[in-house]
């Protein structure tokens, strides 16, 4: 019943879920209404889980086919349209607008001026680094880095193996910005000045570099650890856990930390938070017993990717590619 409800036909142009602002871990106004990455990664994971739970019989065959089609469409859509690295940002910077055809490069009519100066300065020179943007819809692309969405894209294999490695490369390259004194920054950068006033409605809790607006949340540590173990990079997780271990107990397990580099306990942070303690303990357990991690993440599903490309190009390729995407209409 739940699966049928989530997959019911509607008027959506895209395979991603449309939600209002405050519909994810960031549950206050932060300008992330539309199709935020975090919701799509969790939805993708839920659909992959559902395939393991649904019994295959005559009455469920059509539902399973619908789930597989949606998984393929989401995978294609996110990998192609949400991904940015230095090369893709330069491409967007040179976009032509108001294109109308199946061969259009700028399918979402993104205006080049939306590429913020902070991003052009911040993105590493190396093509080994990249990330999935926070949100995408017609004429709007939110280039902020949202940690949970990117980590869960790695865990669920929503991103390609190359993209997943590039996200961890970016976190390593931008360690001070995304990890700082306390892992991990919920999003980067924070909304400041007039942008903070307009988008958050001058939210006194989401002041710049506090709470959901660029605060650091230790509970994200276990998702980071899981992603690192999956991609064969446990040393990154060990470095972050060691950093957190120095402060969390002494600081009485706070909910979140404030300031650009997470130096101070949040101004309204509650102490002895279960999810902070659980995130730290889970990270320690996973690092000590990495074999346990395999039950919590998904590997690449080649059948899904084959379905994805076959539906679009009638070819037998087993993975999505930008070359295949450029000649296709939006799903």
- Of 325, 308, 171, 149, the residue nearest 243 (C-alpha): 171
Q: What domains appear along the chain, each with residue ranges and CATH number?
A: 2-326 (1.50.10)
Rounded Cα distance between 103 and 281, Å, is 50
Beta strands per DSSP E along the chain: 83-85, 130-132, 135-137, 140-142, 145-146, 187-188, 257-258, 264-265
Task: Classify burial at 264, counting beta carbons within 10 Å of its beta carbon; exposed 0-12, middle 13-18, buried 19 or more.
Answer: middle
DSSP string, 241-257: HHHHHTTTTTTT--S-E
Q: What is the pLDDT of residue 105?
A: 85
Three-state DSSP class for 94?
coil
Q: What is the pLDDT of residue 308?
A: 64
Contact yes or no for 147/180 (Cβ under 8 A):
no
- Of 235, 239, 248, 232, the residue nearest 293 (C-alpha): 232
Three-state DSSP class for 207?
coil
What Å distances lie between residue 295 and 2, 40, 121, 161, CA to CA?
23, 21, 39, 18
Cα–chain center distance at 210: 20
Tokens of 77: 């859509």
- Of 208, 215, 205, the residue nearest 268 (C-alpha): 205
Rounded Cα distance between 323 and 87, Å, is 15
Contact yes or no for 184/240 (Cβ under 8 A):
yes
CB burial string 183-218: b at 16+ within 10 A, e below: bbbbbbbbbeeeebeebbeebeebbbbbbbbbbbbb
Contact yes or no for 320/312 (Cβ under 8 A):
no
DSSP string, 113-165: GGS-HHHHHHS-S-TT-EEE-SEEETTEEE--EEHHHHHHHHHTT-S-HHHHH
Tracing tokens 């306390």 back to the chain, one arrives at 182
Q: What is the pLDDT of residue 307?
A: 65
Rounded Cα distance between 21 and 38, Å, is 12
Tracing tokens 């938070």 back to the chain, one arrives at 273
Q: What is the pLDDT of residue 309?
A: 54
Rounded Cα distance between 269 and 277, Å, is 14
Contacts of 288 (CB under 8 A, 6+ apart): none
Q: What is the pLDDT of residue 322?
A: 46
Contact yes or no for 120/85 (Cβ under 8 A):
no
Q: What is the pLDDT of residue 113?
A: 92
pLDDT tens across 60-73, in order? Answer: 999 999 999 999 99
Q: Which parts of the chain have pLDDT scores under 70?
A: 307-331
pTM of the complete model = 0.91
Q: What is the pLDDT of residue 325?
A: 41
How many C-beta atoms lie closer than 10 Å to residue 291's C-beta?
Answer: 8
pLDDT tens across 227-276, in order? Answer: 999 999 999 999 999 999 999 999 999 999 999 999 999 999 999 999 99
């Amino acid at each position: 019943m739940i699966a049928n409800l989530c997959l019911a036909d509607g008027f959506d142009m895209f395979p991603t879920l449309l939600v209002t602002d405050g519909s994810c871990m960031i549950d206050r106004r932060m300008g992330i209404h539309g199709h935020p990455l975090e919701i799509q990664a969790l939805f993708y994971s839920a659909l992959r889980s559902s395939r393991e739970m649904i019994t295959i019989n005559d009455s469920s065959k059509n539902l399973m086919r619908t789930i597989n089609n949606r998984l393929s469409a989401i995978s294609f859509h996110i990998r192609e349209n949400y991904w940015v690295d230095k090369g893709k940002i330069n491409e967007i910077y040179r976009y032509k607008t108001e294109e109308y055809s199946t061969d259009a490069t700028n399918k979402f009519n993104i205006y080049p001026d939306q590429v913020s100066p902070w991003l052009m300065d911040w993105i590493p020179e190396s093509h080994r680094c990249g990330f999935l943007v926070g949100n995408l819809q017609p004429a709007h692309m939110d280039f902020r880095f949202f940690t949970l969405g990117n980590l869960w894209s790695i865990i669920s294999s929503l991103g390609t193996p190359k993209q997943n490695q590039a996200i961890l490369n970016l976190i390593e390259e931008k360690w001070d910005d995304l990890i700082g004194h306390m892992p991990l920054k919920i999003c980067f950068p924070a909304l400041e000045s007039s942008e903070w006033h307009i988008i958050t409605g001058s939210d006194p809790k989401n002041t710049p570099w506090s709470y959901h607006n660029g605060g650091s949340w230790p509970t994200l540590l276990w998702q980071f650890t899981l992603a690192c173990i999956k991609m064969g990079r446990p040393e990154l997780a060990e470095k972050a856990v060691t950093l957190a271990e120095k402060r969390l107990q002494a600081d009485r397990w706070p909910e979140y930390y404030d300031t650009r580099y997470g130096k101070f306990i949040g101004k309204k942070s509650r102490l002895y938070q279960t999810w902070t303690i659980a995130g730290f303990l889970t990270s320690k357990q996973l690092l000590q017993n990495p074999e346990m991690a395999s039950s919590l993440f998904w590997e690449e599903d080649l059948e899904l990717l084959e379905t994805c490309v076959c539906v679009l190009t009638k070819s037998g390729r087993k993975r999505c590619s930008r070359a295949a995407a450029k000649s296709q209409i939006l799903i």
